[in-house]
Amino acid sequence: MDDDADLVRRIERLSDLVNGDPWLVHRGRFVTLELRLDLGAVLYHVAIDRGRIAAVARGPFLMRAWGFAVRGSAEGWRQFWRPVPPPHHHDIFALQKLGAFRIEGDLQPLMANLLYFKDVLAAPRRGNGDTAI
């Protein structure tokens, strides 16, 4: 359960990590959407407004709209957020190929702003200091 608490701590720091990075916010300046993240059984809704994380809310949610979702196992997120992820755990698409993640919904905003979203989702790696979670 400590591992799940660490995942929750990391995702709940997402707004500070993203909004505190002026270049990342600038890169996402045309992005305004609702994103769903599943960290195993823990669900999150992330509201993005012009590249800034406006809100990170913990679910469960009933009938809440989202543009696209990244649904991953808790272990998949643990490996992805290691400072140096192991092979095949460094990228959301690599994790999807492994079956640890599913990417669903309207993928046009994801693909049009791919580097932005990859950096947003990888932001919890920063400032970690440990090598395994």
Q: Is residue 129 part of a domain?
A: no
Quick one: CA torsion of 123, 110, 47, 88, rounded to 10 degrees?
-40
Report the C-alpha gap between 3 and 131 in whole angstroms. Answer: 13
- Check if the beta carbon of residue 63 is closer than 8 Å to that of residue 71: no
Q: Is residue 38 domain-resident? A: yes
For residue 42, the enclosing domain spans 2-122
Global pTM reads 0.89
Whether residue 108 is contained in a domain is answered as: yes
**Tell me, what CATH number does 37's domain have?**
3.30.1050.10
Is the per-residue pLDDT at 132 higher than 60?
Answer: no
User: What pLDDT, in 10s, does the model give residues 42-87?
Assistant: 999 999 999 999 999 998 888 889 999 999 999 999 999 999 999 9
**Structural domain contains residue 32:** yes
Q: Is 131 among the domain residues?
A: no
Number of domains the chain contains? 1
Q: Does residue 128 form part of some domain? A: no
In a domain, 99, yes or no: yes
3-class state of residue 55 by DSSP:
strand
Note whether residue 41 is domain-resident.
yes
Measured CA to CA, the distance from residue 24 to residue 18 in angstroms comes to 7
